[in-house]
Structure 1
């Protein structure tokens, strides 16, 4: 639980929220009072979504509790009913736009019909980039939403408000740029120091504070022994694979269960293991670390080495030799329908593994958890073809439906006009009313009122609500998949949760196992198949 301590914090004492902020008894009492007052609002009151964001807690930041209470007061003052609170903590507005945040993003992408306005405490709590702000303004205008701020003059329903939100957004972006410059300067300074100022240490090292208050790097002895075991395993006559190394370290409890082969290799190739300061270097999409040189052109040593230079170079040579023996990666990935084809026994994904024997290459579909990879399923292309045929039989003729947003504002406006007109004629037809003076005026008024009532009854209640509707785009999924190929089919099947289990049974006297496939389709597959337009795709 993150709490606020007395005294001013320096940048190294920023607190990150790891759980929901604790509400005090006084805060909860205020919250209940606001909810009771809100319950008295009319049913047709505009609906407000509260957006709360905080990256780190300092003495200068505003806590999420205060943000929510202030926004609830603002909503009550404006006659808005709060329908939800999108609370995104430990999130940087500079790095993560609103539509990519876990809670706010879900409201924007999937729950737009449920609110009319987005309320936030201050613009920099909502966005810090002018481009993100422009994207959100366009989205709000498209869906008929409004943006409101507690401390900024922002209101998209007025021209002045649209101009003001752009000006304030520019200022927020300048402030964010200044912050980025300061952080970059800190990193540039830290790279030249032998002490550890800021950053994440290389794997195998951890920070420690000396008696004089300086922070230095020290070797984690348990990890050092594990890394030396990996080096010896890589130098064997029959070297162990990085996958094997990762499994051993996970079983030993030295690494978490999420350790991947690529992470294992990246750790073993990190020159920081020689005690030097390093920085990330991305070349052709491959993440590697490179040594940082000091003003004298020599590497900056920040810790005792785990590997000597000779040990490190021999390890790299061993990794290079094994890397050259690996098959070339397929451009679209070795495995098609990844995440769709699963093992019937262990329920893990089936992946293609290539082996070579006497100059010939073989491909097998294997799982990741069964002992020895289970019985290999040979000829992946045959399995792909059978899966495609089964899917087309079941889902091929389903119409491709796309999700569209329909606003109910016009229908509500028409409904209100008709209700007021009917009320007007009903009052006029009461005894002594304006339409009761002659038979002609009464008959005309009754006829007009009947017509108005018919028009009112013809309005579909759903059309008065903001809603998503599914619209047929004129194609079937068979046509969609014929155009896009197996890649398009695989993406759709994975998106809607379709699975196909592979059951491998050993046949006596036969090398290849018997393969049985079973297609599993969710009951609500038609709803899941509906294509949802990504309103923010062009913003990336």
Structure 2
């Protein structure tokens, strides 16, 4: 099969390897830059390098070249490089800076460690004006600067702020034009019987025929899976989607990540008849046929199913679906992700059974046979969990992480040091304060006070850092105000688990329940509330 693109493999798009991508000449330049960086003073401003590529091809600016260019820029500006945030195969239009894997960690958790963010070009950093505006606000809040290698950007000046906004607007227009071109291409592709671009539906793979054209062919393993599912759904006692998933995963025909909803989405896709489809805007995770100018479906490949087989399968799936209880808008399960089964390790969920006379709620797990022993009183379990959590964590203070800027403290330290140096020099023989006893005593007294003030400054306060501030409430008060939802959200965030032990009691239908809290050792650190600076932008 002919190679159709120079796009790098997915593994190389996610990261680049020093030995594989850096040439000997590049490594020599890198060592020289690091040597020059070592000569910088200790208080030199710190730079974080941001590297991004949407698609890594042989024609794009390589991450190695971006890093070297930015290191040269940092050297010229007198910055010390403290880190490199490399996010490859990431679209700036779809993923804002704070949601990227590496850069997002620096912005959300490690902002005290750098003073300026350097990037190769603005469109390498952001492509949406709203994202740029959010980053400017963030930089102004935390005293950071944005610096571009190929754009005149400097947030320390009013003109620089205006210019970066204008450039960002141009980048957004360019991204919009690109989006328009891509949408136009997709609209054209939908009307063609040839396969031009896109990922084929499950059951098909792309191939190249003898004329060099891209075609779709049926994938053999998927063909076996789909036809087995069709036969299983058509039995007198049809197999459920969950049953199908278990069999397929156990047989090795499908991966362990397969879910019942994904399998149903595949089985209901009209593309399995060999027709072109598009996403149905009115039905989530469903596809619909694309009709040609003649009003008929557009065939792009041989069908995995004939039309009779496909519509017979849909009828069987519909018939099985009628036996399932309707999905509730609000889940009856509380503390999902906290309450777990000690035997299988899965989440405990509440199962609702309805009869003509009453409605019954049972708490079961998802891994044990038949859900293990069902606990018929979920509210009692919730109440006991709340009481146990309040006993252990309720009296702890709620602490909020805040950003402490050390710039003012650094200025004060510099002022004191300069003043001390001045008085020490003028107290030396021949200095202005050494001429009389009175001036010498007064200057010595001032010098002693300056030294005492300098020693009283905690060196830690001169550093940009995170500090934890008590907001005046305990977690008991916080959870009483927010209810079970607030407590559940905090427990999931912190990683607190609670094992629900169910022991069968002879001649008693309901099992005996015992709860066991599993609290991480670093729970105090995890409970600290961290403000999401980009929460409104998500």
The alignment's TM-score, normalised by the length of structure 2, stands at 0.94
**CA offsets per residue over residues 341-360 of structure 1, 9 Å max, x none?**
11112222222334457865
Equivalent position of 2:140 in the other structure: 141
The match for 2:97 is 98
Single out whichever of 112-121 and 496-505 deviates more from structure 2: 496-505
**Structure 1 position 455, deviation (Å):** 1.8
Partner of 1:424: 422
Residues 1:282 and 1:225: Cα distance change in structure 2 (over 3 Å):
same
Moved more, 34-43 or 354-363: 354-363
The structural deviation recorded for 1:317 is 2.4
Q: Tell me, yes or no, if the aligned pair for 1:16 and 1:90 is still in contact at 8 Å.
A: no
**Which residue in 1 is equivalent to 2:196?**
197
Shift in alpha-carbon separation, 1:249–1:17, aligned structure 2, 3 A: closer
Q: Secondary structure at the match of 2:346?
A: coil
Partner of 1:114: 113
User: Is the CA contact 1:34–1:72 (under 8 Å) kept in the aligned structure 2?
Assistant: yes
TM-superposed deviation, 1:153: 0.5
Q: Within 5 Å, which residues of 2 pair with 1:56-95? A: 56-95=55-94
User: Which residue in 2 is equivalent to 1:127?
Assistant: 126
Q: Alpha-carbon deviations, 1:313-362, whole Å to 9, x = none?
A: 23222322333332333333242211111111222222233445786544
SS at match of 1:95: coil
Q: Which residue of 1 aligns with 2:167?
A: 168
Deviation at 1:218, TM superposition (A): 1.4
Which residue in 2 is equivalent to 1:35? Answer: 34
- Structure 2 contact 403–465 (Cα < 8 Å) conserved: yes
Query: Which range is displaced more, 196-205 or 510-519?
Result: 510-519
Whole-angstrom distance in 1 between the partners of 2:302 and 2:353? 41
Q: Give a deviation string over 1:192-220, Cα, whole Å, max 9, x none.
A: 11111111111111111100011111112
Q: Deviations over 1:347-400 (max 9, x none)?
A: 222223344578654433333333443333333222222111111111112221
Q: Secondary structure at the match of 1:222?
A: helix
Partner of 2:531: 533
Structure 1 residue 497 displacement after superposition: 0.6
CA contact (8 A) 1:16 1:56 kept: no
Q: 2:483 aligns with which of 475, 482, 485?
A: 485
SS at match of 1:427: helix
- Native 8 Å contact 2:122 2:151 kept in 1: yes
> Does the CA contact (< 8 Å) of 2:7 and 2:58 recur in 1?
no
Q: Which moved more, 1:232-241 or 1:517-526?
A: 232-241
For normalisation by structure 1, the TM-score amounts to 0.94
Equivalence for 1:397: 395
Task: Pick one of 309, 315, 318 that aligns with 2:316.
Answer: 318
Equivalent-residue separation in structure 2 for 1:490 and 1:167 (angstroms): 44
Question: 5 Å matches for 1:407-486?
Answer: 407-486=405-484
- Per-residue Cα deviation, 1:96-153 (whole angstroms, up to 9, x for no partner): 0000100000000011101000000111111111111111001000000000111110
Q: Distance in 1 between matches of 2:235 and 2:400?
A: 57
Is the 1:17–1:89 contact (alpha carbons within 8 Å) kept by the matching residues of 2?
no
Deviations 1:430-479 (A, max 9, x none): 12211100111111111111221222122222221111111122222122
Structure 2: runs of 5 or more not aligned: none
Q: State the distance in 2 between where 1:27 and 1:380 align.
A: 63
Which residue does the alignment assign to 1:366? 364
1:352 corresponds to: 350
Using a 3 Å threshold, how does the CA distance of structure 1 residues 237 and 358 change in structure 2: closer, same or farther? farther
Q: What is aligned with 1:3?
A: none
Take 1:485 and 1:316, find their aligned partners in 2: how far apart are those partners?
A: 44
SS across alignment from 1:283: coil
Indicate whether 1:15 and 2:13 are aligned: no
Aligned length: 530
CA distance in 1, matches of 2:421, 2:438: 20
What do you get for the CA RMSD once the two structures are aligned? Answer: 1.9
Other structure's SS at 1:196 match: coil
SS of alignment partner, residue 525 of structure 2: helix
1:343 pairs with 2:341: yes
Tell me what 2:242 maps to.
243
Instruction: Assess if the C-alpha contact under 8 Å between 1:94 and 1:176 holds in 2.
Output: yes
- Between the aligned partners of 2:480 and 2:306, the Cα distance in structure 1 is 57
Q: Distance in 2 between matches of 1:34 and 1:275?
A: 57
**8 Å Cα contact 1:363/1:378 also seen in 2:** yes
The CA distance in 1 between the partners of 2:327 and 2:387, in whole Å, is 27
Distance 1:409 1:308 in 2: 72
Find the aligned partners of 2:75 and 2:454 in 1 and give their Cα distance. Answer: 32
Q: Which moved more, 1:417-426 or 1:243-252?
A: 243-252
Q: For the Cα contact (< 8 Å) 2:269–2:287, is it kept in 1?
A: yes
Structure 1 residues 416-425 or 180-189, which shifts more?
180-189
Counterpart secondary structure, 2:403? strand
Report the Cα distance in structure 1 between the residues aligned to 2:55 and 2:509, rounded to whole angstroms: 59
CA contact (8 A) 1:341 1:501 kept: yes
The Cα offsets for residues 509-540 of structure 1, whole Å up to 9 and x where unpaired, read as 33333322100111211111111111111113
C-alpha separation in 2, matches of 1:26 and 1:369: 56
Output the CA distance in 1 between the equivalents of 2:353 and 2:305. 33
Whether 2:282 is the aligned partner of 1:283: answer yes
Q: Which runs of 5+ in 1 are unaligned?
A: 1-8
Distance change (3 Å), C-alpha of 1:159 and 1:113: same
